[in-house]
Structure 1
Amino acid sequence: MTPFRIDESFARWSELLDLILASFAYMEGRIDPPSSATRLTMESLVEKAKAEIAYVVENAGQLAGCIFLRPEKDCLYVGKLAVLPSAQGRGIGRQLLDIAEETALNLSLPALRLETRIELVDNHSTFAAWGFEKTAEKSHPGFTRVTFIEMKKALAG
């Protein structure tokens, strides 16, 4: 499994969009509001790759996973961490988070931060097993109930 950084010159936007949509499909009907992944287009992915640090993992010529990273004041935000359903359980997510940790340390950022929906308790457990701790409960605009949690992982630097 080969990870590589992508930018606007990347040519496989349609395949990347399909990967993200397939990875996030299980959330449909489980989370409210719906995932922002459902609003992604090839054009918005190009813009996202220009504005953020993006990596993909290729396995046997097929895109199997991706991650988008955005430097913030005191951490590196992890977004759109996606693994193709047929490739899950092979360490691709862990490999992508290792890249995120290395990127954060190279940028002198002391932590990773991510958000996960309140309903996705399996994700909470997975991220906790990878060293993330819940740091906040938050709501999307227009919601009076908690809709997502923030998790952070402090990095040894």
Structure 2
Amino acid sequence: MPKSQIRLARDADVAAIRQIVRDAYSHYVTRIGREPAPMTEDYGPLVENRDVWLVVVEDEIAGLIVLRIREDHLLVGNVAVATRFQGRGLGRQLLDHAERYAADQGKDELRLYTNELMHENLEIYQKLGWEEYDRAEQDGLRRVFMRKKVALDMDTK
């Protein structure tokens, strides 16, 4: 696969971000009974806040991750890879970036939540070392809350 890079999203990327999210999550609409939360997100303000990172392959946006800094952790708000780039390890590359970014921000824990009907995602996260710590209904959706510890270098504490 061609070389990829990760960079912050820019205003000009918002339309591509929306399309990637729509394509990546649309197959869940029937299973869940409505659009998953990432499909209804307003990505403009997230890009302005510098919360969206992109993986780019040969100048094409191939995927994204939304990272929100919280007081005691880094929240992974969304990971989406364009359909034609799926299965190439780009989602893992984005999650690895999240770990480095968390450590750079002095956060020793990543957290995320996903819909309990997205079985594939739960399996992927568990294989990557995430642990489930709660399940609850939130915004009318049944969510699974997961976390992963991040090693902090002595220099970043």
Superposition TM-score, scaled by structure 1 size = 0.87
| C-alpha contact 1:49 1:68 (8 A) present in aligned 2 | no
Report the RMSD for the aligned CA atoms in angstroms.
1.6
Q: Does 1:16 align with 2:17?
A: yes
For structure 2, the 5+ residue unaligned runs are 153-157
Runs of 4+ in structure 1 displaced over 3 angstroms?
A: none
SS of the residue 2:32 aligns to: coil
CA distance in structure 2 between the partners assigned to 1:148 and 1:99 by the alignment:
24
Q: In structure 1, what is the equivalent of residue 9 of structure 2? A: 6
Q: In structure 2, what is the equivalent of residue 130 of structure 1? A: 128
CA distance in structure 2 between the partners assigned to 1:117 and 1:73 by the alignment:
24
CA distance in structure 2 between the partners assigned to 1:109 and 1:32 by the alignment:
35
Q: In structure 1, what is the equivalent of residue 108 of structure 2? A: 110
CA distance in structure 2 between the partners assigned to 1:47 and 1:133 by the alignment:
30
For structure 1, the 5+ residue unaligned runs are none
Q: Does 1:150 align with 2:145?
A: yes
Superposition TM-score, scaled by structure 2 size = 0.87
Q: Give the 3 Å change call, closer, same or farther, for CA 57–142 of structure 1 in structure 2.
A: closer
Shift of 1:85: 1.5
CA distance in structure 2 between the partners assigned to 1:51 and 1:57 by the alignment:
18
Alignment of 1:6-155 (within 5 A): 6-7=9-10, 10-32=11-33, 34-40=35-41, 44-142=42-140, 147-155=142-150
